[in-house]
Chains A and B, each alone.
Chain A
Amino acid sequence: MRLLPSGTFHESYRSDHALWQWRTGFTRVALAAAAVALVGLLPSYSSGYVLGVANVLGYTILSALGVQLLIGYCGQVTLGHAAFIAVGAYGTGIGILQYGLPYPVALAVGALLAGGWSVLFGLPSARTKGFYLIMTTMAAQFVTVDFVIAQYVSQIGGRGVAFSLPPGTIRMGTLVVDTERETYYLMLILVALCTAGVINLFRTRIGRAWIAIRDNDVAAEALGVNIFRYKLLAFFVAGVLGGIAGGFWVSANYGLTPEDYTLAWSLWLVGVILIGGVGSVHGVFFGAAFLTVILEVLKALVFTLADAYPMLNDRFLFVKEMAFGVAIIGFLLYQPRGLAYRWQQIKTYFKLWPFGY
């Protein structure tokens, strides 16, 4: 029985360009089917707590995909992505509450709004690069969340600072999304669609253009890539992805406040892709899983230690931030290419075994 080939050997351009780079043997299909069943049937064999964590994980993945696209593939460092997630969330929420749109339509509207808003703040990228661009994305964060949303958008409909979406408001036709179980399946669908979309986008002309801009913008321009247009397109797609993430989180949260979309969340997302690996879609999943799991472990740890040290409980936020800071510093110093690179190394090791190289 042949388990795995000891390397990837292409015999035609077709196989070289294929999305699935491996041969579909029996083992592969069986493993994939088992994984799909394990993930798809999660609600039937696990507790609500696990589902809740899975939803947070999905939200982090959806949010970080856009950041990965901008930073990892187009080379435009952004520290304000939470702003676009917020626009998507508020667009979706207002669409449902004020205009009575069905959830999928509201989600699409929110995503497009976020995309447009993101393009607006991508405009300075025509003239600025590097650090100065980072500053304009940070400006996007403060202007959008702390000013426009906190002071004005929150007033729409006279609901006060926090919008509440009681269970039952989020419906698709006759289906009502009001439990963790439904949110979980919604999350699975959205993550699968967005990931597939992003992976395929990177294989097209557009994705190649982004990668060219990331690697050397002057050379890309010389090769006929319209840099400004492709940068704006990257901001648009990243904004749409952020908007989808925000719209999804509306369904999991029953409420909306500007405090969910702070600069800290933007930085957290950049941390996710750094820990996972910059320039890799796998990396988004690894990074999100790493940080989410670490956070839950910390919570459990603090919970057990809280009897002895009650101070830990009310200062948990700081424990979390400390862990995040240490994780980022540690990864940058000792694993600068992220978990995705480590994964690659492990795969290569098994592929070549028993030979060293």
Chain B
Amino acid sequence: METLIQLVVTGVMVGSIYALVALGWTIIYKCSGVLNLAMGELTLIGAYVCLQLYLWGVPFPLAVAGTLVVGFVLGLVVERLALRPMIGQPILSIIMITVGLAFLFRALVGFIWGTDTRVFEPRVFPMDPIRLGPIVVGQVFLWSFAAALVLLVAFVAFFQYSRWGLMMQATADDEMAALSVGISARRVYALAWALAFMAAGVGGTLLGNINGLNVSVGFLGILVLPAVVLGGLNSIPGAIIGGIIIGVLQNLSGGYLDRLVPGGVKDIAPFVFMVVILMFRPYGLWGWEKIERV
């Protein structure tokens, strides 16, 4: 029983980071309809920028702020150069341009920072774990959880209450109507990419603090896909809950199934789970169901 609680708690905490990145993915999809396979590479770039700033001696909170700024600018640039010319192209082309971006970004990160695992040195968060009753949680997890929660709340508040957030929601809902009341769809697309870059960068930084940072952190971008599929592609609460569920599921399958079926169950469990979900609920939990009639 204690193992179960332990696994669930850690799962929720890691899952909150997934939720953050999944949120970024959903923002892009909701606003501009782009299925982004480069999400993992966005997390890589953010994480390495933060690491580099931190190693140069910038205090951690400032480094994170710097990451946010760099992410924002990069998001605007990438959207303008690669994605805007692709508006109206078939789905395969749009997916493949994000694949091209993914290859390019990963190669750039690998080329600049190498393949060795890097750590935030000196450690940002204290190493000794905290006891909450029967369960033990590393401080890194706790702080990451807190940071992810703060950012999630900030993003959701941005969508619900700010003028720009409402513009983005309007565009996602009905682009034509949004255009006709004077919302600039172009700016909304650009902002969506900038926000996604920011969310991914912070997600990557937090994950890099937990496990150390190397190119394989980019796998996070693939792992986020089961989360958004589970929640439904265009649902922001769905992405958050999906991310947390995937985190918990991953931990549980690592803790329990690994003994029965040895090998990397932890890494593929989300995908198996996703295929099963798709068989029964092809639009995820809260996705918009597309009804086709002749």
Partner-B contacts on A (CB < 8 A): 71, 77, 124, 127-128, 130-132, 134-136, 138-139, 142-143, 146-147, 150-152, 218, 222, 263-264, 267, 270-271, 274, 278, 315, 317-322, 324-329, 332-333, 336
Q: Which B residues from 81 to 117 make CB contacts under 8 A with A?
A: 82, 85-86, 89, 91-93, 95-97, 99-108, 110-111, 114
Q: Which residue of chain A is the closest to B293 with respect to CB atoms?
A: A218
Please classify the interface of chain A as helix (H, G, I), strand (E, B), loop, or mixed, using the class held by over half of its residues: helix
Q: Smallest Cβ distance from B154 to chain A, in angstroms?
A: 28
| B278 touching A127, Cβ below 8 Å | yes
| B92 touching A71, Cβ below 8 Å | yes
Q: Smallest Cβ distance from A156 to chain B, in angstroms?
A: 14
Partner-A contacts on B (CB < 8 A): 35, 82, 85-86, 89, 91-93, 95-97, 99-108, 110-111, 114, 222, 225-226, 229, 233, 262-265, 267-268, 271-272, 274-275, 278-279, 282, 292, 294
* Residues of A contacting B82 in the complex (Cβ-Cβ under 8 angstroms): 329, 333
| A151 touching B99, Cβ below 8 Å | no
* Residues of B contacting A326 in the complex (Cβ-Cβ under 8 angstroms): 100, 104
* Residues of A contacting B104 in the complex (Cβ-Cβ under 8 angstroms): 321-322, 325-326, 329
From A71, A130, A143, A328, name the one whose CB has the most chain B CB atoms within 10 angstroms. Answer: A328
Name the one of A142, A151, A328 contacting B271, with C-beta atoms under 8 angstroms: A142
Report if A135-B278 is in contact (Cβ < 8 Å); known contacts: A333-B82, A333-B85. Answer: yes
* Residues of A contacting B35 in the complex (Cβ-Cβ under 8 angstroms): 131, 134
Q: How far is the CA of A208 from the CA of B155 in the complex (A)?
A: 49
Please classify the interface of chain B as helix (H, G, I), strand (E, B), loop, or mixed, using the class held by over half of its residues: helix
| A152 touching B97, Cβ below 8 Å | no
Report if A139-B274 is in contact (Cβ < 8 Å); known contacts: A77-B91, A124-B279, A147-B268. Answer: yes
Name the one of A124, A130, A315, A336 contacting B111, with C-beta atoms under 8 angstroms: A315
Question: How many inter-chain contacts with C-beta < 8 Å in the A-B complex?
Answer: 131
| A146 touching B264, Cβ below 8 Å | yes
Q: How far is the CA of A332 from the CA of B110 in the complex (A)?
A: 24
Q: What are some 20 contacts across the A-B interface (CB < 8 A)?
A: A77-B95, A124-B278, A128-B278, A138-B271, A139-B272, A147-B268, A151-B262, A151-B263, A270-B96, A270-B99, A271-B96, A315-B114, A321-B107, A322-B107, A325-B102, A328-B99, A329-B82, A329-B100, A332-B93, A333-B85
| B233 touching A146, Cβ below 8 Å | no
| B272 touching A325, Cβ below 8 Å | no
Name the one of B262, B268, B292 contacting A218, with C-beta atoms under 8 angstroms: B292
* Residues of A contacting B279 in the complex (Cβ-Cβ under 8 angstroms): 124, 127
Q: How far is the CA of A131 from the CA of B287 in the complex (A)?
A: 13
